[in-house]
Chain A
């Protein structure tokens, strides 16, 4: 009877130990699966959010440029400096759900064709490089961590976006009109303002170079010397930007003394 009891006890220990070990194996496997799922989920979130941050950086570059174009006319005699001044930077450190991130972006005028990846979050009218348009190259660096730890994710994204204005063509046309106007005014030997303005109107009417540019002039006499100030200007309206439509002015000016 005693042997039976011992045998039953040993059998019970073996059965329960086996059950415990089997459960531990399943438990460990489930935990590994959970860890892998959580890691994968966090990586997906980081990847998607980095794309949103890169898109927002491109959007911000367009909005900032649109604001400068609207408020600051371009002097065609210094168009390159004007285009260089459109560049900007943006630094953001924040968190979204459990993703902690830092984002640094910089953008500037892209004069030469570049073919980086396109932005899925911007419509085609702003996305990519378009020959002759105002193209901006946007470089965005994103560093993300999940709740300050792993998994971490980092990308360096380069995108090109554009606004539908033609700064180089407008600068060339402006300089040509200005040169044409100067040549015409050199032949005017009067300091009478009304005579000069009439001649300017005649030049503008007969020369196709002016295109959409309006020309103007004024005269002044100081210490017996006649000075003629002249200018050309044009304003494009209804340009489509990311923050609605806007207008942009291009001008050029010069003076003659005799």
Chain B
């Protein structure tokens, strides 16, 4: 009787612990943090387009746009992109969030990308 009792209690405890580990709230918290970093990256990409303007992006050469992207980055946000098929250097290896804006100007496809990185 005692052994059965201990067995049932142990089994129930293990079941509860496995459910707790499966329903861990920490995963959702991490996802939310990544989503917030994605918001920062999105805001950075939009802010860049707003700062330099569409006329600059339509007229400048790919290398000029790449240089401008590098200059507008900071310690926590790296800016890059693909301008008319030309990949700008400086893509970070690790990042917490990313975002991109793709549009066609003067027949040329530009993709402005932003990554939020740890300082």
Binding site for B on A (CB under 8 A): 1-2, 5-6, 8-9, 12-13, 16-17, 19-20, 23-24, 26-27, 29-31, 33-34, 37-38, 40-41, 44-45, 48-49, 51-53, 55-56, 59-60, 63, 92, 94, 96-97, 120-123, 126, 242-244
B49/A52 in contact, CB under 8 A = yes
Given known A-B contacts A16-B12, A45-B42, A121-B54, A243 and B106 have beta carbons under 8 A apart: yes
Tell me how many residue pairs across A and B have CB atoms closer than 8 Å. 119
Tell me the nearest residue of chain A to B24, going by C-beta. A27
A244/B59 in contact, CB under 8 A = yes
Q: Could you say which of A31, A48, A120 contacts B43, with CB atoms under 8 Å apart?
A: A48
Q: Could you say which of B6, B9, B54 contacts A56, with CB atoms under 8 Å apart?
A: B54
Complex Cα distance, B29 from A56, in Å, reads 37
Among listed B31-39, B61-69, B70-78, B86-94, interface-contacting one: B31-39
Contacts of A20 in B (CB 8 A): 16, 19-20
Contacts of A29 in B (CB 8 A): 25
7 additional contacts (CB under 8 A) given A33-B28, A242-B58: A26-B25, A29-B25, A34-B31, A34-B35, A48-B42, A96-B100, A121-B50
Contacts of A26 in B (CB 8 A): 25
Closest CB of chain B to A34's CB: distance in Å? 5
What are 18 contact pairs spanning A and B, CB under 8 A? A1-B2, A2-B2, A8-B9, A9-B5, A12-B12, A12-B13, A16-B12, A23-B19, A33-B28, A37-B32, A38-B31, A41-B39, A48-B43, A52-B46, A52-B103, A121-B49, A123-B55, A243-B59
B58/A59 in contact, CB under 8 A = yes
Residue from B49, B55, B106 with most neighbouring chain A CB atoms (10 Å): B55
A121/B53 in contact, CB under 8 A = yes
A19/B53 in contact, CB under 8 A = no
